[in-house]
Amino acid sequence: MYELKNKLLLLCLSVCLVLVACGSKEEEKPSTDNAKESKGILLDDKGNPKKTIKVNKDTEKAVKDVIEQNRKSLNEGNVEAYIETIDHDSKHLNAKEEEKVLKDTLKNYQFDKKIKNIKFLKEKNNEVVVFYNVDTTAHPKNGGKDEQKSFNEVVTLVKKDGKYKYSKMSQAAI
């Protein structure tokens, strides 16, 4: 039973974070005495990034739409729609590996992923960096105990052919 819980935890994090085989380097965190931090992002006492930017309404809508598609497709178990949200040329995410892991994981689990508090951190050329909070519950299809995880996620999205795609993902537990 203990081994099953560990496997579930690993699979949940792997799928929800889309970090399998990404091999991204850890970003250095700024040193502070009493501040909360998340992947080098300085957070205020409410868990919000201290430095955010405003983007134009079209960019904001396009980015939020792809974040929602990614979240919704995971919850629905729609692997094809999920993989459409990933940049297949990314140096940090391997779309083929993500697809394989997701298909294998969805045989045994159903997910309920919720995203809130979307904040824009950086915009340059056709790339945006976004911060948000995630609450995820993995429901074992065999009727086992649900596993819940909450974390902050920092994602980089690139615009290709008029649509934003996930290029890099990093997370830090709350």
Please tell me the predicted confidence (pLDDT) of residue 48.
78
Within 8 A by CB and 6+ apart from 167, the residues are: 87, 90, 92, 93, 127, 156, 157, 158
Q: For residues 105 and 113, give the distance between their C-alpha atoms in angstroms, rounded to a whole number.
A: 15
Span 127-170, pLDDT tens digits: 999 999 999 999 999 989 999 999 999 999 999 989 999 999 98
Please tell me the predicted confidence (pLDDT) of residue 54.
96
Topology given in CATH for the domain delimited by 2-21+37-173: Nuclear Transport Factor 2; Chain: A, (3.10.450)
Instruction: Say if residues 129 and 110 touch (Cβ distance below 8 Å).
Output: no
Within 8 A by CB and 6+ apart from 29, the residues are: 37, 39, 40
Q: What is the mean pLDDT of the chain?
A: 81
Concatenating the DSSP letter of every residue in 2-43 gives HHHHHHHHHHHHHHHHT-TT--PPPPPPPP-SS-EEETTEEE
Span 80-137, pLDDT tens digits: 999 999 999 999 999 999 999 999 999 999 999 999 999 999 999 999 999 999 999 9
Name the residue ranges covered by the structural domains of the chain. 2-21+37-173
Span 43-53, pLDDT tens digits: 777 777 888 99
Token readout for 113 is 């992923």
Instruction: Say if residues 170 and 27 touch (Cβ distance below 8 Å).
Output: yes
Within 8 A by CB and 6+ apart from 41, the residues are: 49, 121, 131, 152, 154
Please tell me the predicted confidence (pLDDT) of residue 129.
95
Q: Is 63 or 24 the better-scoring residue by pLDDT? A: 63
**Which amino acid is residue 109, in one-letter code?**
Y
E-strand stretches of the chain: 36-38, 41-43, 109-124, 127-140, 147-160, 163-173
- Total residues found in the chain within this entry: 174
